[in-house]
Structure formats: C-alpha cells, structure tokens
Chain A
Amino acid sequence: MVNATKGLFVSCDIPMAQFIVNLNASLPAAHKFIIHVLDSTHFFVQPDVAGMIRSAISEFRDQNSYEKPT
C-alpha cells in the first residue's frame, strides 16, 4: 500500500542546500526537521518549519553584509 507523508517540499541551490543540512544537524534530535534528502537541491521537511528556515537564512545573510555606520 502506498505510503503518504505530509510535509513541505524545499527547492534551492546547492550552497543553500548545504546550509539547510547544517542547520538540521545543529538542532537537537527532537527538532530535526528534514524527513528526506531527495537530491543535492531538494528536500522534504516537516510542514511547520518554513518560517524558521527563512529566518535562519536571513540571519545568515545579515551576517554577511556590512552597513556603513550613519
């Protein structure tokens, strides 16, 4: 019988994919959100982590930018 799992399909580029894998590994076992690693640019994750992933990415982006002090 076919098995169906509900979740979120994530599609990105390879560096972002590595970032997400790293993020997943850094979380304690109860919070790990990746259900399947489909290939180098796609994941299947828990359904409610969209906001968390986006804020982690924007934090990562802010760390890389320099703002001239006004």
Chain B
Amino acid sequence: MISGGILPREPMPQSVTARLPTSEELDAYAHEQWECFLLQLISSGQAEKSTSFSSSMMRIFQRGLLRQRDKEAPRLTESGFQFLLMDTNAQLWYIIREYISNSEEQGVDQADLIAFLLELSFHTPGEAYSLDTLTDDQTTMIKDLADLGLVKLQKGRKESWFIPTKLATNLSVSLTDSSSRKQGFVVVETNFRMYAYSSSKLHCEILRLFARVEYQLPNLIVGAITKESLYNAFENGITAGQIVTFLQQNAHPRVAEKLPSVPENVTDQIRLWETDLNRVEMTPAHFYDEFPSRDVFEAASDFARMHNGLLWEDAKKMRMVVKAEIHMLMREHLRGQNK
C-alpha cells in the first residue's frame, strides 16, 4: 500500500439505489437500534422489539455486565452500572471488543473482522454500498452490525446494500471528539431537582440508578437527587465521580454553556455523601511492643517502612503496628536481630 489508495468499495450509483434515508432518518434509526439493544442487554423487559441476536450472543455481551443467581432475575454488576453511565462511543467499543473476542471461538478470523470494522469506519455515512462486495464472514458480521445500529440494510429490486450510520464512522474518531457528542438532556438545579428532557426508556432507567424519579411525562422526566438514591447507587458500585461525569457530559444545551454545567453544591454534596460511607478504615495488622532496646525498635521500624507496611508507631513507648501481609518477614527480621 504505497500509493494513497482509494477505498476498495465505491458507493453505488443513485440510479440503482432507490430513495436513500435522509441523515436525520438514519441517525434516528441508529439511535433506536442502539437503545433497543442496550435495553435488551440489561433485560429490563422494556424493549419494544428484541434484536435478532441469538440468546447465546446476548449472554456473551452480558457476561461482564450482569450476574444471575438461580431463580433470581439477573442483576447488574458493578461494571454493568459503570457501563451504563459511560459515553456511547465507549459503550460501542466495549460491545465490539466482546464481539471480536467471541468471534475467535466461532472460527472467524479476528484480523479480518478488525480490518473490516476499520474499513467501515472510513466510509461515508448515508451512502449505499453493495453487499456483493463483502465476503461471507463480512456478510454475517454486517447483519449483526445492523442490529447494533451501525449500518442500515436495504433491498432494491435486484440488489441489496448497506448504509453506514454515524455510529460506524464514529468508531475511528477519538473518544473525546466533542463534535460527535450527542445533545445533552439533563438539567440539575441547585435544589437537587433534576429535569431530563427525554422520552427514552433507557435514559429513565439510567437516571433511576442514582436519582429518585418522581414524574414521567411524555417528553420530560422529573426527579430529585437524594441521599437515599445515592446510597443505593454507591451500594451498587457506582462512584460519585462517575455520576458527576455523567451529569456533566449529558447537560442540556441551555445549561451546558454555563460554568459549571452542574451546580457545585450538588457535585460537592454527592462527593461528601460518598465519603460519609467510608469514615472508618480497617486493616488487618499486628501490634508489636516490648522491644528490648531502642536500636532494635528503630531497625524494625525502618524495615517495616521499607516494605511499605508500617501503619503506626510510637517512638517514645516503642510500640508499632505493621500490616499483616509482612508479619512473616518481620518475624524473620526480628529473629535475625536476636542473634
């Protein structure tokens, strides 16, 4: 590949493809598919239609995110909660990674898949590309990608083609590129009330993770961030930092220009409530006293400090507390000192 190289695939001529979806229709399609997939993933039972992924594929995606005990409904794990609060691009990459590592077990070559994905991300969104240009493996993959909302499949009279959406082209964009950021929808007030201008069930589920949802109107979700709802979130393994980042990244355009986009008293209070849960630190340790001489004490204290295990010492009374992990080493050291 010495020359600049054109794409191996050219868009199909307009004469063959019938009416192509507009970019808004395409974005709406991609958004809907992705949300449907996510809702099905966390199996809240609220997805209106299920994707055509086999249940074994869904279980692979759910592997790190859901945990199921017998006879119980599946529950989100800590990483599951954090996954939901992540940015769409990060979520997309997680799912793609799982998909790729699973495909190896199915006998499909990983390098091919990754090359195809990267190729796809350089296509023009909204243009139709013929399905005939794909190998068999790639055709199977395209069907799965259509379920995720990365491409849209369409059939003409004789040909079928796929249209990459913005989700696909965003694969090769850096994660922090703000031009691809979707519009935010959350307004947080200084009285801890939260207004989310969204009609998406997924957004409602995500907000329920850490806030108390009070009213759900057709285009608005009203809620409040309370101590109890946050404690719930912390128990589930979500950190205050993640909640604050989520609120800041999804701030409604009206408040996003203000600095700070989320009031500081709310973010400070969220962090304070988190530290309130961890007021006491406990470490398994051993307590040493009755040192025969100051030299032995100082040598032992230096030894413990070298191994990063000295938790507390009182030089006047010659007492110290050392982490339990290095107790054996301390014993050896003290025995050596005795000789």
Residues on A close to B: CB < 8 A? Answer: 1-13, 16, 20, 35-36, 38, 42, 44, 47, 50, 53-54, 57, 61, 65, 67
Contacts and interface: CB of A to CB of B under 8 A. Distances in A.
A65 B229 CA distance: 13
B295 interface: no
B193 to A, nearest CB: 13
Given A2-B292, A4-B327, A47 B284 contact: yes
B324 interface: yes
B285 A9 contact: yes
A3 B285 contact: no
Contacts of A4: 286-288, 327, 330-331
B276 interface: yes
Contacts of A61: 276
Contacts of A11: 280-283, 311
A5 B287 contact: yes
Nearest 9 Cβ contacts at the A-B interface: A9-B285, A12-B280, A5-B287, A3-B290, A11-B281, A9-B283, A16-B279, A50-B282, A9-B311
Nearest to A44: B287
A53 B280 CA distance: 9
B227 interface: yes
Given A1-B292, A7-B286, 11 more contacts: A2-B334, A4-B288, A5-B288, A7-B287, A8-B283, A9-B283, A10-B281, A36-B319, A50-B282, A53-B280, A65-B227
B25 interface: no
Interface string B262-298: 0000000000000010011111111111111000100
B300 interface: yes
A1 B288 CA distance: 10
B321 interface: yes
Contact of B312 (A8, A9, A16): A9
A59 B319 CA distance: 33
Nearest to A70: B212
B177 interface: no
Contacts of B283: 8-9, 11
B287 A2 contact: no
A44 B321 contact: yes
B228 interface: yes
A24 to B, nearest CB: 14
Contacts of A9: 282-285, 311-312, 321
A2 B279 contact: no
21 contacts: A1-B292, A2-B290, A2-B300, A4-B286, A4-B287, A5-B286, A7-B285, A8-B285, A9-B282, A9-B284, A9-B311, A10-B280, A10-B281, A12-B280, A16-B279, A36-B287, A42-B312, A44-B287, A44-B321, A54-B280, A65-B228
A5 B330 CA distance: 13
Contacts of B300: 2
A27 to B, nearest CB: 17
A44 B288 CA distance: 11
B288 A6 contact: no
